[in-house]
Structure 1
Amino acid sequence: MMSKWKLSLFRISRRMWFRSTLYGVLGVATALAGAAARFVLPQGLATQIGADSVGNILGILAASMLTVTTFALSTMVAAYGSAATNATPRASRLLIEDTRAQGTLATFVGAFLFSIVGLIALSTGIYGDSGRLVLFGATIAVIIVITVTLLRAIEQFSRFGRLGETVDLVEKATLKSMELRAEEPFLGAMPYTGSVPDTSIAVFAAAVGHVEHIDIQRLDALAEAHRLTVYVVCQPGTFATPNRALLHVMGTLHDDQRAQLIEAVTIGGSRRIENDPRYGLVVLAEIGVRSMSPAINDPGTCISVIGTCVRLLLRWDALACAQRDEKVQHRHVYMAQLDADDLFEDVFAPLSTDAAGSLEVNIRLQKALAALCAGCSASTREAARHHADSSLERALRTLSFAQDRQKLRAIHALEQQRAQDAASRRTFGSPAPTR
């Protein structure tokens, strides 16, 4: 997990104003760079090339870029509302932080500021003939950049905020978070799988919110300095309250040390996907649940979300199986890894509950969970079997048509048998049966 200051810089870089400010400063600097060219380039060259027309070009550019920037911003705001309505409000943050959309808007803002500053500088006469030549060349380059950006924006804004695009964004963000966590399952701390010692001292949260970041390096430094052993009993995304222990400590603990330890756990108002892969699965499940509401009733979207979650969970299973021994960097801190059953609970509990009355969705759920039952890790197989059985039980209590219940039972038995056969072939290396 990245350090606290790196995480802060990362989040600042994802703010919409950051890229626009950066591109705006670049545009202003480019417009003013021509003033220094008067001392380098020969006089009279600008007249031969026709750089005197740069003022007219900049005027057209300034007027058009103001309109295009306003249109792009209104399109993005409409896309945020569409994603919140059609998908889930929790997915809007990913659209707001999308670097492609931010880059498009920032390019238009930078081009607008470039043209405005260029016009102002031209009116003051600071360029001279050589400076106008440089400004003319920079203007041509800016026009090329704008043209390429506009062509890309046509494709981008035609899909931006749509349900399928939003699901893809959530999937990519969740996969990246999973891969980062798989590199350090214990965040560089010592692993522990059991319960904390009974004689340990609990350190409770000082605020109400979700755990956004755990500074393991800071905890290790404090533990080493005060001769402590720290057990982290929370994960990024854990809901913290003043009566919820986030840490357990072995050793003599004073009040000032307790305050220093709890400051290493950052608590915020909302969860973030970048270091909380479970939250990505929660967002996907919310999209699937919303699609099954009576007002929408779109089983196809729910089925698509199930397929997305299966891809992510199979990838997580593969990463867990390929996991090498993690290099322990912080030997005074102990932490548990993510539990596979929690990942399954985040996805399949809400989906199977809200889609219990839909036969087609339940069939896909059984097939999806059967695919996960053939995973390579025992925890994945156990969690998948548990949720396959519980999903079947929910559906049988909800479906009113007897033939639907009979069909779902048969599919459940068939898919579980296939999963068991696939797991056996993987374990013993026997060839697949021929037909």
Structure 2
Amino acid sequence: MRDPAGRERGERIRESFVLVPLLGMAAALPLAALTVLIDQVVTWFLAASADLEELRSALESLVESGNAVLQTAGPATLTVLGVVFSITLVALQMASGQLSPRVMYLFTRGWTAKVTLAVFLGTFVFTLLVRYAGGLLGDDEGDVPFLPVFSTAAALLLVGASLVAFVYFVDGTVKLMRPTTVLDRVGRETLRQIRALPRATGPVPRRSKVAPLGESCTVVRSRADSGVLVRIDTARLMRWAARNDAFVRVVPDIGDYVAPGTPVLEVHASREPRRLDRAAKAVRTGAERSTFQDPAFGLRQLADIGVRALSPGINDPTTAVQCIDRLQLLVEAFAVVPQGERTLRDRKGTARVAIPLPQWEPLVDLAFTELVVNSGGQPQVSRRLMAAFDDIEEAAPEERQAALRRVRDELRRTCVRSLSQEVVEFALTPDHQGLGGNARAGGAADAGR
């Protein structure tokens, strides 16, 4: 299993839109130096050998066309890159307006856009350096012109790679404008984070604010800028707790807004802990939430898309049904996550860090309440919701049924208020497709419960 420190480093790389393009530009430097060096050696070798006069003459005839390729490739890639990303920003604005502004992070986290930018910028830097080096070496050679054979070949390969990256980039951008693609990506990422949470093996008590017996409690306050709690650096916090022989409890939930000076950690230790500022640095805030360590944010996005689809301005109940498809899968996965907190232990088995886990009832409300309230007059949505509630009840333990019964009752009241009596029974019949699927037998009995 991947260690938490490695996962956190990988997440920081994914969230950065600068690192990969900069690496592409940096990789162009040694590549340009290598190809220019090889071309210089080939030029010297051909100039020193009289037997290769014909080959040198043939290669010299290619110098002009090779320089033309190098002169055109760099500026052309940079021009195309500017046009492509300008169009992409317009497409992203359209997608965020139709779906949700919170889907914009999918573009910054995706590898396609970063790799495309890295290839285009790398090609531009490579051709610029080769042209400059070729001019210097060509002046030094005098009667023997510099032959950029390998440099031109590498530039052509980079141009070809840029074209391939461009095709994949356009394909990914077009897919990002499709609701199903966005929903699938959000659902997969959220499900991956849910499966990283512990599984319930028995009744787990809710987290307690009482300090362990015989130990003092030190409250650590946030020293970062105000923002949303996006990440707990568990590796840093574990190391700090082990050095101070302490137990650390994270106070806010992932996704909470944290202002400077807000209590973020409770440190329980038998002696006064040192360097509390290092412990505070483990609590990372940001401008917006991320699905990493915060699977509830995935449900928030899906619910937002579904509610927007049900708004009078858009009126797209089919998209709302597609959101419910993913929400049902995620809520069923949450059904086996224990209530309370996640306790991390060191190699000796000593509990060091406790992080709050997402709670069942708030997650059910987050996933379905807004959709239920806005589903009035949409039998397609209410039928799909009833089918989702039935399936989740089969997967959830008995002690978690109350939250599902509550949203089911609210859905019945919403349908009664919004629809005529003749349509209510139809609207409350479970149907996995909303409309057009094989409605479950006994749906009328369910509607009357």
Q: Which TM-score bucket, shorter chain as reference? A: 0.7 to 0.9
**Which amino acid is the alignment partner of residue 95 of structure 1?**
F
Q: Deviations over 1:78-115 (max 9, x none)?
A: 12212221111111111122111221232222222222
Are 1:368 and 2:388 matched, yes or no?
yes
Write the letter of the residue equivalent to 2:322: S
Select which of 175, 189, 201 maps to 1:159: 175
1:396-435 matched pairs, under 5 angstroms: 396=416, 398-409=417-428, 411=430
Q: Which moved more, 1:285-294 or 1:308-317?
A: 308-317
Deviations 1:235-260 (A, max 9, x none): 32133357965444445686977655
1:288 aligns with 2:289: no
Taking the TM superposition and a 5 Å limit, the aligned residue runs for 1:22-421 are 22-38=23-39, 40-41=41-42, 42-43=45-46, 47-48=57-58, 51-52=62-63, 53-125=65-137, 132-179=148-195, 181-182=196-197, 184=198, 193-196=205-208, 198=210, 201=217, 203=219, 205-206=221-222, 208-226=226-244, 228-241=246-259, 245-250=263-268, 261-317=279-335, 320=337, 328-329=345-346, 331-375=351-395, 377-378=397-398, 381-396=401-416, 398-409=417-428, 411=430
Structure 2 distance, partners of 1:242, 1:151, is: 45
* Bigger Rg, which one: 2
Distance 1:209 1:2 in 2: 26
Distance between the aligned counterparts of 1:17 and 1:142, measured in 2? Answer: 20
| Equivalent pair of 1:72/1:105 in contact (CA under 8 Å) | no
The 2-side partners of 1:227 and 1:48 are apart by 75
Please identify, of 301-310 and 212-221, the stretch whose mean Cα deviation from structure 2 is larger.
212-221
**Alpha-carbon shift at residue 306 of structure 1 (Å):** 0.8
What displacement does 1:220 show?
4.4
Note the alpha carbon deviations across 1:378-412, whole angstroms, 9 max, x for none. Answer: 4665543443233323333x314122223345559
Give the superposition deviation at 1:6. Answer: 6.6
Counterpart of 2:93, as a letter, is: G
What residue in structure 2 maps to residue 432 of structure 1?
none
Post-superposition offset of 1:293: 1.2
Q: Describe the superposition over 1:220-277 as per-residue Cα deviations: whole angstroms up to 9, x where unpaired.
A: 4544555544333433213335796544444568697765544432233321112211
How far 1:377 sits from its partner (Å)? Answer: 4.2
Tell me: CA distance 1:40–1:382, structure 2 relative to 1, closer, same or farther (3 Å): farther
- Provide the residue aligned with 1:11 in structure 2: 12
Do the aligned partners of 2:309 and 2:319 also contact (CA within 8 Å) in 1?
yes
The one-letter amino acid of 1:230's match is V
Cα distance, 1:116–1:295 mapped onto 2, change above 3 Å: same
Q: Read off the aligned partner of 2:425 and give its amino acid letter.
A: Q
What is the CA–CA distance in structure 2 between the aligned matches of 1:29 and 1:74, rounded to whole Å?
A: 30
One-letter amino acid matched to 2:33:
L
Contact 2:379 2:428 in 1 (8 A): no
Q: How much does 1:309 deviate? A: 1.5
- Summarize the Cα distance change of 1:257–1:192 in structure 2 as closer, same or farther, 3 Å threshold: farther
Paired residues of 1:75 and 1:157 also in contact (CA < 8 A): no
> Contact (CA 8 Å) 1:370, 1:385: kept in 2 or not?
no
Secondary structure at 1:296 match in 2: coil
Q: Secondary structure at the match of 1:234?
A: coil
Q: Secondary structure at the match of 2:33?
A: helix
SS at match of 2:148: helix
Q: Is the Cα contact below 8 Å between 1:211 and 1:265 reproduced in 2?
A: yes
Residue 374 of structure 1 aligns to a residue whose secondary structure is: helix
Cα distance 1:142–1:223, how it changes in 2: closer, same or farther (>3 A)? closer
The residue number in structure 1 matching 2:435 is none
The separation in 2 between residues aligned to 1:35 and 1:196, in whole angstroms, is: 66
User: Counterpart of 1:168 in structure 2: which amino acid?
Assistant: D
Q: CA RMSD in A?
A: 3.8
- Per the alignment, in what secondary structure is the counterpart of residue 230 of structure 1? strand
SS in 1 for 2:292: helix
Q: Distance in 1 between matches of 2:296 and 2:290?
A: 10
Q: 1:46-88 CA deviation, whole Å, 9 max, x = no partner?
A: 6545642211112232242122111221122112212221111
1:212 is paired with a residue whose SS is strand
CA shift for structure 1 position 288: 0.7
Task: Please list every run of 5 or more consecutive structure 2 residues that lacks an aligned counterpart in the other structure.
Answer: 47-51, 432-438
Pair 1:78–1:57, CA change in 2 (3 A)? same
2:358 aligned counterpart, secondary structure = coil
| Structure 1 gap ranges (5+) | 422-435
* Number of residues of Structure 1 aligned to a counterpart in Structure 2: 408
TM-score with structure 2 setting the length:
0.77
Return closer, same or farther for 1:109/1:198 CA change in 2, 3 Å cut-off: closer
Structure ranking higher in helix proportion = 1
